[in-house]
Structure 1
């Protein structure tokens, strides 16, 4: 897969207010631990259908996130703050570790989880971030997603946004044009100090094929 690249239109206030309001409502429970929230019910079904990953890979990614987070917690406890994001079975790690030795252990923990294809370790050597900082990152993520919707240049369904210490990581299976559009939206969003691309690139033709599958949903 492609390695990370360290690299306005007027807002529609009603949609952005809704997204930011939802973010504020869920921020506190999200900040209580490093485990990802798994979408369930109708919301998960809708997200799965619109996603460019196969339905099987979508479910695998959710499971990978839970397994990796649980093993990190079991092995390292509160000595680290690590967020785990799996996309198309490639695992992005963000957060903080106390030293390089502990940071290096994370790679082995992830590699030991079934179905993982690769690891992108972006964990910083630093003290664990504060709840205030994590809340700010959550709001930045929501703002970037809202601005993607407003821009009309890229579908928020096709780009996953993760923010850590004001750095925005972008994941997805996208053509270069979508990657550039998403990166520009993120780069020009308030509070963002850097954008890191963690995309898998495909052709425009392949993107159209994935967005308009014929027959049954891919498994």
Structure 2
């Protein structure tokens, strides 16, 4: 949250959005993404040779492949049946999505990897924004931003409740996988990002490192 709220690089990206046709209003919450698989998953060794469903995102694909997974891109409505039929060994999503889509029914091993943070920004069409009276803009912006702390706390606090609920329905939750091994496995992805995205990747990684250092 500190990075998302204070990053100079991110603020610069948000400032460019109106020229692309939309405007960021507030950093709402999606939560951290976690794994659900048909078989136990404790580290990269367990990922090798298994197909995992994800969405079309280059950094996500690089990361999952570095962990050892084969990545299968498919629409969300197809995932439950794909796991059930053995087309893929599992999927990754935030806890509320895992619960809502009942993925634990076909992929009962829920592994808390927190491998990607998924904010859900509130945006508005720039064309629509420009049509609004100034007073309405101020009210909309204020409302969107005032809800942010509530949204963040709601998602964060609800994760354990949903996990406990899934456990009553035979989900097997692994809260302590080998995170260090997962982190080591994706280290080459950072270099790949630096090569492709240059100064942008450098800025993000440096800011994140500085925030981690402050937290210690």
| The two structures share one fold, judged by TM-score above 0.5 | no
More helix by share: 2
For the pair shown, the structure with the greater C-alpha radius of gyration is: 2
Which protein has greater RCO, CA pairs closer than 8 Å, 6+ apart? 2
What TM-score comes out, normalization by structure 1 length? 0.27
What TM-score comes out, normalization by structure 2 length? 0.27
